[in-house]
């Protein structure tokens, strides 16, 4: 059995504009959207923004590919003003998408267990094997699944 999840990797389509604001949203080629209006996505996190966030893409030692990637991102999902508020909203959305995905993984495992199917070999896409401070690490999650004979290491 294989189980695949897209989140949290669709974070790139996050609309950072405030309600009634049209800065990022005025020029984009792909659909962008705000966070869902539900309990999971309403959480905010007291986590610092990366210290390198405002580093110039032209700074010595930065791969030119990063600047090219950012130019493509600007065309696809709109250009972001470099504002802490926007980056904080994106970071909160990302952390909440990880939580959302973790809860969905848990629901799959619960259903398997309720149906005496927990020994079926599973393949979870690496897209869900993400960790951040405060959430179980990839290694700990994998070990927990192995210890409970929910997945088997080949």
Identify the band that residue 85 occupies on the pLDDT scale cut at 50, 70 and 90. very high
pLDDT tens for each residue of 95-120: 998 888 888 888 888 888 888 877 77
**Pairwise pLDDT comparison (57 vs 138), residue with the higher score:** 57
**Pairwise pLDDT comparison (109 vs 149), residue with the higher score:** 109
Identify the band that residue 80 occupies on the pLDDT scale cut at 50, 70 and 90. confident
Query: Are the CB atoms for 16 and 86 separated by under 8 Å?
Result: yes
Mean pLDDT (the chain) is 79
The pTM score is: 0.72
pLDDT score, position 134: 40
Q: Taking the domains of the chain in order of start, what are their residue ranges?
A: 2-53+83-147
pLDDT tens for each residue of 7-30: 677 788 899 999 999 999 898 899
Q: Which of 35-44, 107-116, 117-126, 136-145 has the highest mean pLDDT?
A: 35-44
């Amino acid at each position: 059995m294989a189980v695949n999840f897209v989140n949290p990797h669709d974070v790139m389509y996050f609309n950072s504009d405030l309600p009634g604001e049209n800065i990022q949203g005025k020029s984009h080629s792909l659909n962008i959207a705000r966070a869902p209006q539900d309990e999971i996505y309403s959480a905010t996190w007291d986590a610092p923004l990366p210290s390198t966030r405002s580093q110039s893409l032209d700074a010595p030692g930065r791969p030119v590919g990063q600047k090219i990637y950012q130019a493509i991102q600007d065309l696809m999902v709109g250009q972001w003003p470099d504002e802490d508020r926007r980056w904080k909203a994106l970071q909160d959305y990302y952390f909440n998408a990880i939580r959302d995905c973790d809860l969905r993984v848990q629901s799959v495992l619960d259903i398997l267990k309720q149906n005496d199917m927990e020994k079926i070999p599973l393949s979870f896409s690496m897209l869900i094997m993400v960790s951040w401070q405060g959430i179980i690490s990839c290694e700990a999650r994998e070990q927990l699944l192995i210890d409970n004979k929910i997945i088997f290491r080949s």
